[in-house]
Amino acid sequence: MSEIILSLNKATKLYAGVPAIDGVDFELRRGEIHALVGENGAGKSTLTKVMAGVVTLTSGTMQVNGADVMPKTPLEARHLGIAMVFQENSLVPTMTVAQNLFLGQERFYNRLRGIYISAQQFLQSLNFDVTPTATVGLLGAAKKQMVEIARAVLHDAKVIIFDEPTATLTPEEKKYFFDLVRDLKRRGVSIVFISHALEEALILADRITILRDGKHVVTDEAAKFDRARIVQAMVGRDLSNTLYGARKTTMRTAGARVLTVQNLKMAPMVKNNSLSVFAGQITGVFGLVGAGRTETFKVVAGVLKRDFFHGGEVLLHGKPVRYRVPAPAVRAGIAYVTEDRKVEGFFETMSVARNIYLGLLAKLPGGRFFLSRREADNVGSKWVERLKVRTTGNSMKVVELSGGNQQKVVIAKSLVQEPDLIIFDEPTRGVDVGAIVEIHELIQRLADEGKAVVVISSYLPEIMALSDGILVSRQGKVVEEFSAFEATEEKIMYAAVH
């Protein structure tokens, strides 16, 4: 069983002279589940992309079954028996499951009934509960992933690589995914998966490899790791006590009621939702994917594009408000920090300072017509310093920053607008461990300053570590409220899934 199926020796990949991975040695045994763990930018993705033929090594060698190989395209890697399941999945949304499975392998006469039948048989043999005639775009994240996995197996993959496979899955789906991966292992397939959720790596993996700054830190049996040891290896310093710190021992008292949502309806995601948010407190909103958390707060901030508002009331400082676009909400002091910073967060062609300055401009009431370079620089430097954004200068572009620093810029762009109500939607998604701590400190500080803060998160330890009050959302409405003292992970999860 311990035969080496794939190995990398002194693997180095330079991007514009900067190493993304630097002399990494990696070995994958036949039929093992191998977790890759590391901060953002540690080189996990690059390492897996090398194996999958998406990028080619600058130096170093790769062996599959003992033979030297160097796949230059994903197709070459596939012929070697290596398949990769990407984070943004690579299925064609308008085609059916069966069409996707056989994509690229169609015969000249592509009989639909034929591929439906073979797809059905194949999916049944894998024990996958997916209808072959279903359109992929209409499937949930978990089912899409099943199709991706099925395709990899169909291509006779001996090595399947997953990039953050559980990021978009609900807990039940995760469980199912774990069973699936174990089943693949029994079939003799080797699995490599990247994960930010350390518990998953500990539960699922046989061995864990930890990378830091493009270098290999340690590879060992999963049984020999625990949370603290992994975190320490990832960041090179002992962080486990400050990150998602020990249980809260103090709780802020509630100030004035800033936001009240009463019986908000919005088809199909929000059903009769009611909640309150208070100044000087962090209100944590927990719920599984599809619980209508994000949608509720997007209605509050005017971010939702189409008007699906079907009734109910939003009160800001006791006055009823209804924002159809974000601009008036911003002027009224509501800031929404997006969960998807690439799509609705930062401006990628612009400098850090210009990004933050645009936030200021959008808030300035009417008057300002001319731009002031000095003001932009001042505002930029002030916030870069305040949020400890690591840049090489104000003129550095946001795309060149790491995920954590990009997130800080997006936050700064909102904070420069001096909001009273700040809604953080998944504030630490795709953010490295060091930056998570800094962002959490910042969120705490905002509440201490008397702002009303909302943190929407799917990650329980984050909710537990930050919140003074916790709202649990399920199927479109808040179903349970806890104070920080009475909440336990079990109680919250129980409310969220039932």
Q: Min. distance of Cβ 231 from other proteins in angstroms?
A: 28
Residue 268, preceding peptide bond in cis (omega within 30° of 0): yes
Which residue among 212, 408, 413, 429 contacts other proteins (CB under 8 A)? 413
Q: Min. distance of Cβ 451 from other proteins in angstroms?
A: 17
Q: Which residues contact 481 (CB under 8 A, 6 or more apart)?
A: 469, 470, 471, 472
Based on CB atoms, which residue is closest to other proteins, 224 or 342? 342
141-200 residues in contact with other proteins (CB under 8 A) are none
Number of residues that bind other proteins (CB under 8 A): 34
Length, in residues, of the chain: 498
Q: Min. distance of Cβ 330 from other proteins in angstroms?
A: 3
Q: Min. distance of Cβ 470 from other proteins in angstroms?
A: 26
Please tell me the distance from the alpha carbon of residue 403 to that of residue 153, in angstroms, as a whole number. 32
417 binds other proteins (CB under 8 A): yes
Q: Min. distance of Cβ 140 from other proteins in angstroms?
A: 22
Tokens of 411: 């936050």
Task: Count Cβ neighbours within 10 Å for each residue of 294-305 and write b for 16 or more, e otherwise.
Answer: bbbbbbbbbbbe
Q: Are 160 and 124 in contact (CB under 8 A)?
A: no
Based on CB atoms, which residue is closest to other proteins, 227 or 363? 363
109 binds other proteins (CB under 8 A): no
Residue 147, phi then psi, degrees to nearest 5: -60, -40
Q: Min. distance of Cβ 484 from other proteins in angstroms?
A: 29
Based on CB atoms, which residue is closest to other proteins, 34 or 354? 354
Q: Min. distance of Cβ 47 from other proteins in angstroms?
A: 16
| Burial tier of 485 (Cβ tally within 10 Å: 0-12, 13-18, 19+) | exposed
CA 83 to each of CA 155, 176, 460: distance values in angstroms, whole numbers, following the listed order:
8, 20, 32
Q: Min. distance of Cβ 419 from other proteins in angstroms?
A: 10
**What does the DSSP assignment read for 201-261?**
HHHH-SEEEEEETTEEEEEEEGGG--HHHHHHHHHSS--TTTTTTSPP---PPP-SEEEEE
277-316 residues in contact with other proteins (CB under 8 A) are 301, 303
Based on CB atoms, which residue is closest to other proteins, 222 or 452? 452
Q: Are 474 and 288 in contact (CB under 8 A)?
A: yes
322-381 residues in contact with other proteins (CB under 8 A) are 325-327, 329-331, 336, 338, 342-350, 354, 357-359, 361-363, 368-371
Based on CB atoms, which residue is closest to other proteins, 413 or 477? 413
**What does the DSSP assignment read for 400-468?**
GS-HHHHHHHHHHHHHTT--SEEEEESTTTT--HHHHHHHHHHHHHHHHTT-EEEEEES-HHHHHHH-S
**The dihedral formed by the CA atoms of 489, 490, 492 and 497, expressed in degrees to the nearest 10:** 130
Which residue among 70, 256, 399, 497 contacts other proteins (CB under 8 A)? 399
Q: Min. distance of Cβ 322 from other proteins in angstroms?
A: 16
411 binds other proteins (CB under 8 A): no
Based on CB atoms, which residue is closest to other proteins, 371 or 497? 371
Based on CB atoms, which residue is closest to other proteins, 344 or 448? 344
What sign does the CA torsion over 186, 163, 454, 265 have?
negative
Q: Which residues contact 425 (CB under 8 A, 6 or more apart)?
A: 294, 297, 336, 337, 338, 339, 456
Based on CB atoms, which residue is closest to other proteins, 176 or 308? 308
Please tell me the distance from the alpha carbon of residue 415 to that of residue 383, in angstroms, as a whole number. 9
Tokens of 187: 């079939």
Based on CB atoms, which residue is closest to other proteins, 204 or 301? 301
Based on CB atoms, which residue is closest to other proteins, 174 or 363? 363
Q: Min. distance of Cβ 406 from other proteins in angstroms?
A: 11
Binding site for other proteins (CB under 8 A): 301, 303, 325-327, 329-331, 336, 338, 342-350, 354, 357-359, 361-363, 368-371, 399, 413-414, 417
